[in-house]
């Protein structure tokens, strides 16, 4: 039989009690160590998480574009083959008319009923200042954010008269009032939203012989044009768009250039002044 000294048993009880207390309480040292580890893990993960989030946003934006193309097709089918108007016009300056709630009535207002509930008029990569709040103008209808613009050259045009609908841009990503350095040399005026409209660098109503670029496209850092070295798209090097036929198309800054073919435009930004209504 082995006898254990009473003092040793008491010491063991003290150690056991201390371990239990330490197990129930986290020391400041433990918190510091855990914090340092978490910061290190986050720092290492950021370069990988950021691009993944952007790719997801880009994909979501593309799906928005495809849904918008389908919604416009449904609208056209119910409106004598005509594309929607870019906006209800305020006759004083050609900007968008605004109902009592102060939000403009735009092309998106007209096709909203045809857009699926899982899709949006807002790109998740767009910053708040880039978006326009638009409304249907109908009683009880809420406003909604819009970071896409419709090309003015196709406003109310019958689709049957567009020679190459698969390669004619209808809707693309835009920014409001030159935000983030977007090329917007001909705004409607102070505090007038214009990001719902893709116009021309010398006009908001009709192109001229001097028109060179489509405007308000969400290419950032190009306040003086699309050829600067610091020009970037909302999705790195590109923005998303949809054609008259509903086909998706990726656009890069040089694609904003206007091509003339008197008396109309040709290429991606086709327009015919004889079709304006």
Mind listing the pLDDT tens digit for each residue in 152-168?
999 999 999 999 999 99
Task: Output 30 or 79, whichever has higher pLDDT.
Answer: 79
Average pLDDT, integer, range 200-216 = 95
User: In the predicted model, is pLDDT for residue 108 greater than 90?
Assistant: yes
Q: Which of 141-145, 155-159, 170-174 comes out lowest in average pLDDT?
A: 141-145
Nearest one of 100, 89, 83 to 170, comparing CA atoms? 83
Categorize the per-residue pLDDT at 24 as very low, low, confident or very high, splitting at 50, 70 and 90: low
Q: What is the pLDDT of residues 82-100, one digit of tens each?
A: 999 999 888 677 788 777 6
Q: Which of 117, 121, 122, 126 is nearest to 54 (CA)?
A: 126
Question: 11 pLDDT exceeds 90?
Answer: no
* Model pLDDT, residue 50: 60
Yes or no: say if 204 and 193 are a contact pair by the CB < 8 Å rule. no
Output the CA angle 88-93-95, nearest 5 degrees.
Answer: 35
For the segment 135-151, the average pLDDT, to the nearest whole number, is: 86
């Amino acid at each position: 039989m082995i006898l254990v000294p009473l003092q040793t048993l008491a010491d063991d009880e003290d150690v056991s009690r201390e371990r239990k207390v330490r197990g129930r309480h986290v020391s400041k040292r433990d918190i510091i160590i855990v914090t340092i580890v978490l910061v290190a893990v986050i720092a290492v993960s950021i370069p990988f998480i950021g691009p993944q989030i952007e790719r997801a946003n880009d994909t979501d934006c593309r799906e928005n574009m495809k849904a918008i193309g389908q919604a416009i097709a449904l609208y056209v089918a119910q409106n004598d083959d005509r594309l929607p108007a870019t906006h209800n016009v305020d006759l004083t300056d050609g900007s968008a008319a605004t109902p009592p709630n102060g939000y403009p009535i735009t092309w998106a207002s007209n096709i909203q009923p045809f857009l699926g509930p899982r899709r949006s008029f807002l790109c998740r990569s767009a910053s708040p200042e880039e978006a326009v709040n638009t409304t249907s103008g109908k009683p009880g209808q809420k406003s909604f954010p819009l970071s896409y613009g419709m090309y003015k050259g196709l406003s109310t045009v019958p689709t049957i008269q567009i020679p190459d609908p698969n390669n004619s841009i209808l809707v693309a990503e835009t920014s409001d009032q030159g935000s983030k350095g977007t090329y917007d040399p001909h705004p409607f005026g102070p505090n007038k939203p214009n990001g719902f409209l893709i116009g021309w660098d010398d006009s908001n109503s009709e192109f001229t012989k001097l028109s060179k670029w489509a405007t308000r496209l969400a290419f950032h850092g190009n306040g003086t044009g699309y050829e600067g070295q610091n020009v970037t798209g909302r999705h790195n090097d590109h923005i998303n768009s949809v054609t008259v036929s509903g086909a998706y198309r990726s656009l890069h800054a040089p694609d904003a250039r206007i091509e003339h073919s008197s008396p109309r435009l040709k290429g991606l930004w086709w327009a015919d002044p004889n079709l304006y209504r």
